[in-house]
Structure 1
Amino acid sequence: MTTEITPIATDAPLPDLLGLPISTVERETGLGKDTLRVWEKRYGFPAPTRDAAGDRLYSTEQVQQLKLIRRLLDGGLRPGKVVGLSTRELQALLADNGTATASYLSKTNSMDRSVDGAVEELLATIGSHDPQALRHALGTAQMRMGLAPFVTELVAPLTIAVGEAWAQGRFEVFEEHLYTDVLTGVLRQAIASLTPQPVLQGPTVLLTTLPQELHGLGLLMVEALLVLEGCTCVSLGTQTPVTDIVQAAQAHRADIVALSFSNVHKASAVRTSLRELRALLPAATALWVGGSCHALHQMPLAGVSTVQQLSSLQPLVAQWRHAH
């Protein structure tokens, strides 16, 4: 069920005080400043006003539309198909994709009825605005299931479900942020409590995202699974420039650089950045990429390994060890 958003009255212009600066819009939507400017020029949307200094200000309605657009991009649609559509049209597209999304989750995450029910229960807990209850529920599930199944069978579909609930108006941004913050704490605690694997050797994996990629929860999920495999993980967080990634990989003697991408990037920009990074990294340093960005799966790049699913990490690590 979708929630209709009441449009902001248009009989009078919005005062500047009600507009949001571009830095806030970037943070709230996950869409980079450059992307917003390109769309403004190419599609005529968003259409910000200007303050006295000439800086862009975005109305709350446009920000809501941008959030919906981001969800559709994460689902595989191209900007030309969705940028500029009304809130109602964007919500209709999300509703149409709901059945396909549920089918995809069922296939990729092997969600049985018990896990599906657990996702719904956790969504309700998020909506109750009780961080302690959410932390207890996630922590209990992690201890009961074990870290690897917790990440692949529960957290992965739950994260997508939270995004869909937000896009459909069931959750507000602060509720999505609450989920991310609590889950980050649970995963960090679980990773810290793991007993080191003295028998296994390597690899050392450097984890990060490229500039304008604000989403770091996927990196943390990957880190949890890699640590379980005995890898040494070095996380730089999000939005690391290519040259800094190369310097960090050299400083930490990384065997593998692992990057996460959502679908907010243009395919050409993703490929250009990966080619540049691949050329700058030593040939012996592997480059792994994954995420919802469809450009990663459309045209394989030489020297770049694409992680199709979280379950692919274990055989990739085993393959690296066998080769070394």
Structure 2
Amino acid sequence: MTTKVSSQTVPSTISDVERDTGVAKETLRVWERRYDFPQPLRDPNGERVYPIEQVHKLRLVKRLIDLGYRPGKVIQYSTDELRALTGQAAVSQHGATVPPPELQSYLDLCKSHQMEALRRKLSQALLMMGLKSFVIELVAPLTSLIGEAWAGGSLATFEEHLYTESLTVVMRSAIFAMPQANASNLGAPRIMLTTLPQERHGLGLLMAEAMCVAEGAHCISLGVQTPLLDIVEAARVQRVDIIALSFSVAMNARQALDGLTELHTRLGGGVELWAGGGNAALRRRRPSHVRVYALSDISGAIAEWRLRHAAAAG
């Protein structure tokens, strides 16, 4: 049963929830009818709005669905039960019950809002590890840990944003410090990096850019949420060889697949589509026209591109 929302709360609209959790609006309405959850309130205009507690639960439900659980099995659980189940699923998937102490120390700095200390610690790790190891061995697992803490409600959205901004500052500086590939270097692939309009998370894209730059690629970043037609036009104007797209777990899988298919159709060949990220669409239904890579695969993928390019040119 829905009730009027209090003027003292700041609930999320259905569009906000779709962007936040990756659960489509239509799916939210179906669950509401079929499972009696979520239970939206109504704003003064009669539109659905969702309390933050329900959004937290929906994040956990979406996480478990991505891990293979059925909605009808998990949606009736309490938030605490969902957190426990998510933890059990993570153990079976990754074989670890608690984060390594080093990762936990970064998370603790984030939770205590010590952002200068966090940036300093990240910068020191970068200097010690080098860019590629920094991305694969530290940033990727740390970002997953931050995302899980946010999805479980133990990390506030603003704290997740603070982490994102702190890491972005460190990684952008590292990328700019790397030797840049000359645009006329025929052995350097021209890679354009962006996300589809529905994908607002950019850390995966930034990590991919760092790995590509470290391999001597000429990178052109459009940032996040680029309209499809603009991606196609930018690829033509910039004469790119590869379009690299990042898909987080939060993006709706159907939208990810539909966007990749439309982009492939509009490009009409000649430009490779690379994709990466934790989205379920890339794990379960890999599109035949898209090359799907993990961060650790990028070095080999660029080396393979160079071989194919040299063979075609020779």
Q: TM-score, normalised by structure 2?
A: 0.85
Matched, 1:261 2:251: no
**How far is 1:186 from its partner?**
0.6
Rounded to whole Å, the distance in 1 between the matches of 2:85 and 2:225 is 30
2:5–2:43 Cα contact (<8 Å) kept: no
For residues 212 and 15 of structure 1, the distance between their equivalents in structure 2, rounded to whole angstroms, comes to: 30
In structure 2, the residue matched to 1:38 is 26
**Uncovered stretches (5+) of structure 2, i.e. residues with no partner:** 310-314
On the 8 A contact 1:73/1:264 being kept in 2, the answer is no
Aligned to 2:101: 117
Distance across 2 between alignment mates of 1:233 and 1:36: 32
Aligned partners of 2:199 and 2:248 also within 8 Å: yes
Question: Structure 1: how far apart are the matches of 2:134 and 2:297?
Answer: 16
Contact 1:290–1:296 at 8 Å: present in 2 too? yes
Identify the match of residue 272 of structure 1 among 250, 255, 258.
258
Match of 2:297 in 1: 312
> For 2:285 and 2:181, how far apart are their aligned partners in 1?
36
Question: Residue deviations 1:211-230, cap 9 Å, x none?
Answer: 22221100000000001111
Q: Does 1:145 align with 2:129?
A: yes
Task: State how 1:186-201 maps to structure 2 within 5 Å.
Answer: 186-197=170-181, 201=187
For 1:197 and 1:186, the matched residues in 2 are separated by: 21
AA of the residue aligned to 2:301: L
Please, which of 29, 37, 53 is the counterpart of residue 45 of structure 2? Answer: 53
Distance change in 2, residues 1:295/1:243 (3 Å):
same
Which of residues 182, 187, 190 in structure 2 aligns to 1:204? 190
Contact 1:135/1:182 (CA < 8 Å) preserved in 2? yes
- Per-residue deviation, 1:103: 2.1
Q: Report how far residue 177 of structure 1 moved.
A: 1.6
Q: Distance in 2 between matches of 1:226 and 1:90?
A: 37
Q: Within 2, Cα distance between the matches of 1:229 and 1:281?
A: 25
Q: Which amino acid aligns with 1:317?
A: I
- The whole-number CA distance in structure 2 between the counterparts of 1:170 and 1:91 is 10
- Worse-superposed segment, 256-265 or 128-137: 256-265
Contact 1:76 1:263 in 2 (8 A): no
One-letter amino acid of the structure 2 residue matched with residue 292 of structure 1 = G
| Alpha-carbon displacement from aligned partner over 1:122-167 (angstroms, at most 9, x marks no partner) | 1222222111100000000001100000000011111111222334
In structure 2, the CA distance between the partners of 1:69 and 1:212, relative to structure 1 (3 Å rule), is farther
> What SS is found at the alignment partner of 1:254?
coil
- Tell whether 2:91 aligns with 1:103: no
Mean alpha-carbon deviation: is it higher for 244-253 or for 38-47? 38-47
Identity %: 42
How has the CA–CA distance of structure 1 residues 77 and 152 changed in structure 2, closer, same or farther, with 3 Å as cutoff?
farther
Deviation at 1:85, TM superposition (A): 4.1
Q: Does 1:323 align with 2:311?
A: no
Q: Give the superposition deviation at 1:70.
A: 4.2
Deviates more, 1:122-131 or 1:224-233: 122-131
- Provide the TM-score with structure 1 as the length reference: 0.82
Q: How far apart, CA to CA, are the structure 2 residues paired with 1:24 and 1:179?
A: 24
- 1:241-252 matches, within 5 Å, as 241-252=227-238
Counterpart among 271, 289, 292 of residue 303 in structure 1: 289
Distance 2:200 2:71 in 1: 18
Compute the RMSD of aligned alpha carbons: 2.8
Decide whether aligned partners of structure 1 residues 80 and 220 sit closer, same or farther in structure 2, where only a CA change above 3 A counts.
Answer: farther
User: In the alignment, what sits opposite 1:172?
Assistant: 156
SS in 2 for 1:18: coil
Distance 1:275 1:20 in 2: 34
Corresponding pairs, count:
302
Alignment correspondent of 2:86:
94
Unpaired runs of 5+ residues, structure 1, are: 1-9, 107-114
Q: How far apart are residue 16 of structure 1 and its match?
A: 4.0
- Is the contact between residue 76 and residue 294 of structure 1 (CA under 8 Å) also seen in structure 2? no
CA distance in 1, matches of 2:131, 2:139: 10
Match of 1:69 in 2: 61
Aligned residue number for residue 25 of structure 1: 16
Cα distance between partner residues in 1 of 2:220 and 2:71:
33
Residue pair 1:21, 1:55 contacting (<8 A) in 2 also: no
